[in-house]
Every structure is written in C-alpha cells, then in structure tokens.
Structure 1
Amino acid sequence: MTPFELVPLLDLGPLLPELSEFLAGLALLALMWLIVSKAVAPRFEELYERRTDEIEGGIRHAEQVQAEANAAKAEYQAQLDAVRADSARSRDEAAERGEQIVAEARQKAAQEQARMIAEARAQIATEREVAMNELRLQLGGLATTLAGRIVGESLDDERARRTVDRFLTELETQPVRVRGAGE
C-alpha cells in the first residue's frame, strides 16, 4: 500500500498520484526552487535595488534642486527687497530735492521781487524828483510872469523861488485826492 492509500478519507480516485510521480514532482519542485532562488531571484533583486536607487537618487536630486530653487528664491527676494528699499530711498531723496528746488526757486523769486520793487521805488523817487524840479521851474516861471503882469513890475528871482517853494510845500502837505471811476 502507498502512503496515500493509508488515508481512506481522501479517495481521489484516478487523481491519486503514484509515489514515484509524487517524488519526481517534489524533486522537480526543489530543482525549480533552486534555479529561481539562485538565478532568477537575484536578478530581480538586483533590478529592484537598481530601480530603488534610481528613484531615491531622483528624489535626492529633486530635493537638492528644490533646495537650490528655494535658495535662489530667497536671494531673489532679498535682491528685490534691496531694490525696493533703494527705489523708496531714491524716491524720497528726489522728493526732498524737489522740495528744496521749489524752496530755492521761491526764495530767488522773493529776492527778485524785492529787488524789482526796490528798483521801481528808486526809479519812481528819481522820476518824482525830476518831475518836481521841472514843475518848480515851470511853475516858478509862470508864477513870476503872471505876478509881474498883475503887479505891473517883475519880481526878482529869489523872491519868486521862495514863493514857489512855499506853494509846493503847502501842496505836498495837503491830502491827495484820487479821482475814481464815478467822478
């Protein structure tokens, strides 16, 4: 009897293998396991390890590139902040310079205005003096001529000059009336 025949519960019928077939199958299974474990499995393991190294290398490379990108971004941000600060400083300096230029221009304009007013006043005073002298001469001449005709004799020059000066002094002390548009 075969060892498989001892087990009455397993009645496999024609599927029950012979002992020799069973042993041959076990030997072939052991041979296949030995071939797979010695030749095929190491190649698969080597392939898996190579793929793992490539993937991990890719991940390390990606992390390195990411770190470099972050460093470049930080450097770019620092440069951008520096440029913004420089731009703000330049803008502030330009605004200050503009205010300074405007203040200088106002000061020069005020000085020029004061100079022009002083020159105009001096010119007016000079012209007034010239006009007063001409008026005295003409008025004195006319007054002496008129007085000489009225009195019938001519006045001396000294007396005529004193009369004209007194008249002009009285004229200067009187308030000036300016004629408006309604008069």
Structure 2
Amino acid sequence: DQDTILFDASVADNIAYAAPGTDPARIEAVARVAHAHEFIVDLPNGYDTMIGERGQRLSGGQRQRLTIARALLKNPPILILDEATSALDAESELLVQDALEKLLLNRTAFVVAHRLSTIRRADAIIVLQGGRVVESGRHAELLARQDSVYAKLYATQVFDTNPARQVETPAEIARAADGTS
C-alpha cells in the first residue's frame, strides 16, 4: 500500500503544489480530467477545503485523484507510478484508471502494479518474479504464451467487464492501422 503525498492545506493548494501560482480555472480543469472536481465541489468549502495532514479527510480514491490532478498540472515528460490503484474500492479504481489513462497518454511512464488492469494497455509489460525478469511483451502477447506468469496472474484477477471500457487506445488503433501491432 503506497501513500499519496498530500499536505495539510486546501484542495487547490495541494493540486497547485506542482505549479505554484496556477490560476483557479486551470486547477479546476485538471481536477475535472482527474475525476476529482465532482467530489471537490461537494466538500464543505470546495477547492478551499482543508484536507488535513496527508489528506486524512479524504478517501483513498479521492487522494489518488488529487495527486493525478497535480501530475496533470505538472505535465512531466516521465512519470513513475507505484501501485497507483492498490488500495481502492472498485468504483474509485475505475475513476482513477480512467484518469491515469488520460495522464499516461503520449508520455513515458514506469508503472509498478500488482493490479494488472492498471497496465493492460502499456506498450511494454515486464514481469518480475523473485527479483528477476521472467517475461516481457504487450498484454495480448503475454496472454497468448503457454505457461505465462502474466497470464496466470491475469486470470486470478477480476477486471472491468464494461464493454465501453474495452475500447482500444489511440496508439493501439494507429498500430493496428499501420500493421505494427
């Protein structure tokens, strides 16, 4: 279980930590993309609500979405995510995963995950076992391999079965169109 880094400050200040002085409209825009705006406006003072040390007044999913909003505001060329959906309920996980898809688009990212739904659309998946690389490839390639460690792990986990969420990413569509998938 990984902790998000939040401060005993307002929601807006926590998001804007990535870019101090950011105007409120931009803060709201990244919060909307991260699916955070919906819960923020329901807080007692909206974006001015103090969230407590380490965001203790928020749920795990709400904390994750605030840190995703912060990352969207920062817009880094490289991202490292460690267990981004590890301690979330199913509903929060879906919202966080949707926000992560937007955050990771056209960006280099290293994602450490035990919940494989977090990495299904990755360009490359590296499977570690006992501290060693045991296999690598794309999701479909790893599932197709006989005796695949990834396929066995994948089979043990329950995934979103909503067909609307099974849509290919723009990169997958482009690769399929040019025959590189």
- If the TM-score is normalised by the length of the shorter chain, which range does it land in? under 0.3
Q: Structure with the greater relative contact order (CA < 8 A, sep ≥ 6): 1 or 2?
A: 2
Larger radius of gyration: 1
Normalised to the residue count of structure 2, the TM-score between the two structures is 0.19
